[in-house]
Structure 1
Amino acid sequence: MLNEEVQDSMKELLKEYDVKKLNMGDILKGTVIDVNDKEASVNINYAFDGLISKEEISLDGKDPREVLSKDDEIDVYVISPNDGEGYVELSLVRALQIKEKEDIEEFYKNQKNITVKIKEETKGGVIAYYGNIRIFIPGSLAGRQRVELNTLVGKELEIRITELDLRNNKIVGSRRVIEEEEYNKNKKIIWESLKEGEKKTGIVKKLVKFGAFVDIGGVEGLIHISDLSWERVNKPEDVVKEGDNVEVFIGNVDRKNQKLSLILKDVTKEPWTIHSNDIKEGEIFEGKVARLTNFGAFVELFDGIEGLVHITEITNENIAKASDVLELGQKVKVKVLNYNKEDKRISLSIKDAIESSKEYLNYIDSDEDEAGTSLGDLLKGFKFE
C-alpha cells in the first residue's frame, strides 16, 4: 500500500512539474550531490534525483569515492525511471561504455590514436583497456622492434585501432603502426638533411665482408671496407665491432634509392694530401711490402700511400714472381722512379735503390757519414744472394 502511495505521489508530482518522461536507456547530464562507500546521488535536473549503486559506478569494485566526488559533472545511463523509492536508477558504467564505444568507432573510422592502459600479459600479446573497453594488442604489434611484453603492464600506451568488431567484442590495437609512421617521417627528414662531408655520430649495426652498416639516427649507411681506415684493412672486425659508437663522414648520398655511403677514416687526414710534397722523384725511402702480385709488389711509403715495384724493378736477376725474393711486411729501400700526384700513382724500384747505394759507397767511407746514414741502413731488409 505504501509503495502504491509513493508511486501515486510521484505521478502527481511529475504532472505538477510537467517534466518530460524518462525512458530506460536515456543518457542524461548530471551533477554529483553526494557519494559514500555504497552509492552516489546525482542531480539530473528532474523532479527526482538519480541514484548510482557501487556496482554501476565501477566494474572493478572500487570504492565510489575513488571514482566520483561531490559536484562532478557526469553522463549517466537510465536503468529505471523509477526505482520504487523516489529515485531514478542510474549507471555511470553503462553511460561510459556507450561513450567509449562511440569514441572507439570514431577513432577507428578516422584512424586516430588513442591512449590505453595495459592491464595484463596474455598468450600472444597484452590486454589493454580504454576505459571499460577491452583491447587486444598482439606481441607483433606492440612495437616496431621486439618488446618485452611484461615491461608494458601497468603503463599507458598510445595505439591505433586496426580491427573493430563490437558485436563480437573483438578489438585489436597496434603500437607498431604509430612507430612505423614516426620512423618513416623522421627518416624522410634525415634524408633531406644529409650533406656530403658532414660529420655524424652513429652506432655500428652489422658487419659484412665488404664493410660495416652504421645507424646515424634513423638512417643506415655503409662504410665500405676501403673507407674504414687509410691503412689496408683485411676484415671490418679488425677496426670496428657491432655496437661500437663511431664518428663518420657522409660520403655519397643517393636520396632516390635511399643509399648512403659513410667514411670512418678521417677525411681531413687524407695521406696523399698530407704527404704529397714529401715525395719526389729520385728520392729513396724505406717502405714496407704491403702486397705481392704476379707483376710485382706494392710497397707502403706512408700510412695509406703505396707505390708499385714492377717485377723488373725488384732485382737484376730473373725471377718468376715477387714472392721469390720478397715477403709481406718486409722492410725495403725503394727509389721513386715516377710520381703522378693527380692520379696518386707511384712507380718504385728496389734495384735502383741498391745501385744508388753502391754509387754512394764510392764517395764515402764505410763509417757513418755526417748525416748518420750508412749503407747498412740503405739496404735494410733487402734480400739478395
Structure 2
Amino acid sequence: MDENATKQTPAEITDAVEKVETNEEVKEEVKETEVVENTPSMEDYEKEIDNTFVKITEGDIVEGKVLSVTDTELLVNIGYISDGIVTSEEIVHEQDASLKEIYNENDIIKAQVINLHDGEGNVLLSIKKAEQIIIWDELADAFKNNSTITVTVKEAVKGGLRCTIKGIRAFMPGSRISVNYVEDLKEYVGQELKVKVIDFDAESKNVVVSRKEIEKVELDKKRHELLENINKNDRLSGVVKRITNFGAFVDIGGIDGLVHINDLSWKRVKHPSEVVSVGDNVEVYVLDVNKEKERISLGLKNINDDPWLNVKQKYTEGNIYQGTVVRLISFGAFVMLEGGIEGLVHISEIADKRIEKPEDVLEIGDKVSVKLLGIDEKGKKIKLSIKEAKDEVNKEEFKKFNDDSDISTSLKDVFKGIMDNFKE
C-alpha cells in the first residue's frame, strides 16, 4: 500500500476532528430538542386527568357504586371527578324504612344527575327521577313485548285495585284480577303480583295491568301437565266449582272434571245440591279421560263402597227386610233398603187388592216391610213385595196366635182342676 495515499497532513487531521465535534454537538442539540418536544405541558396533564373520568351533564342517568350509607343520604362513586350524593328525598322508599335497611356499601345504583355542583364539591343525584325514567321505558317495553312485571297492590277501590310500580301508579280492573270471581278485593292489598301491561300511555301517565293473563298461562301449563299424567281410577282431591241439574264440576288442579249426578252417590239423588255445595273439598275418582277433548269424568262415590258388591251375601231371597219408600212411579214404588240398595215393588206387589196407582196406598218416606223376591246381581236389580211381606207377617202372627191358644187351653185345664178341688 502507498504510504503517501493514507498519510494526512496536520491541517487535514484538525479539520477532521472539528467535523466530528460538530457532529456530536448537532446530535446533542437534536436530543435536547426531542426531550423538550416529548415533555407534556400542563394542558396535556389536564386533558389526561379529564380522560380518566366520565363526562356527565345534568339530566344524564349514571351508574355508580355506593361508598357509604347514612340515615339521610348515600355517597356514590360515579366515576366522575366528584362523588355523587343522593338524599333520602330523592329515593323511592317506605316512609318508615331506614336507608341503612335498603342499601349497603358496594351496591350498584342508577341515578339521574340533577346538579353538577352542590357547593361542597359533590354531584347531586336522584334515584327517584332515574327510576321514573327507567320504569316508563320498561313499561313501554313490557307493553310492546307482552312481558311480565311486578306491581304492589296499595288499595282496593270501586272497580279494581290501585297498584304501584317503583312509584308509578297503575290500575288493575276487577275483571282482570283472576280467572275466577273475586269476592273481596281487599285480600290483595299489600301483595306483590306478577302482571302484564294491557294498556299504556306515557303522555297521560295511564297504565292498566292484568293478573288474569298470568293465571291463564299458569293454568294452561297445569292443565297440560295434568292431562299428560292423569289416568283412569286415579284418586284426586278437588274443589266443587259449579253445580248444575245434571252434576257438579270439580276443579282438580287446573282443569274441571264433571261428576255426573249418577256418580255422586250410590243412593238415588234428585239434585246434586243434596250431596255437595260450591266450595266443598272432595275426594274424587277418575272414571274416564279424553285427552284430546280435555274432558274428565269423575265419580264421588267410592267403588269399594258399592252396596252391590257381594250383594247375595248381604241379602237372601225370601227374607223380610225393612225399607223406606223413596220414589213412586206409574208401575210401582222404589224402596231403599237399610244397606243402601233400592229395590222395585211392582204395583201388583203393593197390596192384596187391585190399585190404580201406587200413590193410592203409599207415600214417599213411608217405612215398609218388604219381602225379597229376587236379585239380578249383574243388572243391579232387586224385586221386592210389600204384599207378600204382609202375608208372611200374618202367617207369623197366626202361628203365634195358635201358640198362645195352646197356652190358653192349658191354663183353662189348670183352673178347671183347681175348681174341681174346691168342689170336693
TM-score for the superposition, normalised by structure 1 = 0.72
1:6-37 residue CA offsets vs partner (Å, 9 max, x unmatched): xxxx9997446253754444443333455666
Task: Indicate how the Cα distance of structure 1 residues 303 and 52 shifts in structure 2: closer, same or farther if over 3 A, else same.
Answer: same
Number of residue pairs matched?
356
User: Residues 56 and 94 of structure 1 are in contact (CA less than 8 Å); yes or no, is this contact kept in structure 2?
Assistant: no
In structure 2, which of residues 326, 346, 371 is the aligned counterpart of residue 334 of structure 1?
Answer: 371
**Native 8 Å contact 1:309 1:348 kept in 2:** yes
> Would the alpha carbon gap of residues 74 and 220 (structure 1) be closer, same or farther in structure 2, given more than 3 Å must change?
closer
Residues 360, 160 of structure 1: CA spacing in aligned structure 2 closer, same or farther, 3 A cutoff?
Answer: closer
Residues 92 and 166, structure 2, Cα contact 8 Å, conserved in 1:
no
Distance in 1 between the 2:145 and 2:251 partners?
A: 34
Q: Go from structure 1 to structure 2 and tell me whether the alpha carbon gap of 1:119 and 1:319 turns closer, same or farther (over 3 Å shift).
A: closer
Residue 138 and residue 290 in structure 1: after superposition, are their counterparts in 2 closer, same or farther (change >3 A)?
Answer: closer
2:85 to 52, 63, 66: 52
The Cα shift of 1:160 comes to 1.9
Q: Flag structure 1 segments of 5+ consecutive residues without an equivalent.
A: 1-9, 369-385
Q: Is the CA contact (8 Å cut-off) linking 1:228 and 1:239 kept in structure 2?
A: yes
| Residue matched to 1:30 | 64
Alignment of 1:85-96 (within 5 A): 87-96=122-131
Residues 311 and 377 of structure 2 are in contact (CA less than 8 Å); yes or no, is this contact kept in structure 1?
Answer: no
Deviations along 1:243-301, whole A, 9 cap, x unmatched? Answer: 443333333334444444433333212222231345566x2433534433332333445
Q: Residue type of the partner of 2:371?
A: V
2:333 alignment partner, one of 272, 297, 319: 297
User: Which residue pairs with 2:165 in the alignment?
Assistant: 130
Residue 39 (structure 1) shift = 5.6
Relative contact order, higher structure (CA 8 A, sep 6+): 1
Pair 1:267 & 2:303 matched: yes
Q: 1:366 to 1:189 in 2, by over 3 A?
A: farther
TM-score (norm 2): 0.66
Contact 1:134 1:171 in 2 (8 A): yes
> Offset at 1:224?
3.5
Query: What are the ranges of 5 or more consecutive residues in structure 2 without an aligned counterpart?
Result: 1-41, 405-424
Shift of 1:49: 0.4
Alpha-carbon separation, structure 1, partners of 2:109 and 2:313: 84
Kindly state the Cα deviation for residue 92 of structure 1 after the two structures are TM-superposed.
3.4
* % same residue: 38
Call closer, same or farther: CA 1:293–1:366 in 2, change over 3 Å. Answer: farther
Instruction: Sort the Cα spacing of 1:317 and 1:28 in 2 relative to 1 into closer, same or farther, 3 A.
Output: closer
1:221-232 → structure 2 map (5 Å cutoff): 221-232=257-268
How far residue 331 of structure 1 moved from its aligned partner, in angstroms, is: 1.8
Instruction: Judge conservation of contact 1:295–1:310 (CA < 8 Å) in 2.
Output: yes
Q: CA-atom RMSD, angstroms?
A: 4.1
SS of the equivalent of 2:220 reads helix
Distance 1:270 1:155 in 2: 47
Q: Report if aligned partners of 1:285, 1:334 keep a CA contact under 8 Å in 2.
A: yes
Paired residue for 1:344? 380
Match of 1:202 among 228, 238, 246: 238
For residues 296-375 of structure 1, the aligned pairs below 5 Å read 296-301=332-337, 303-314=339-350, 317-328=353-364, 329-334=366-371, 336=373, 338-349=374-385, 366-367=402-403
Q: Which structure has the highest helix share of the two?
A: 2
Letter in 1 for 2:132: Q
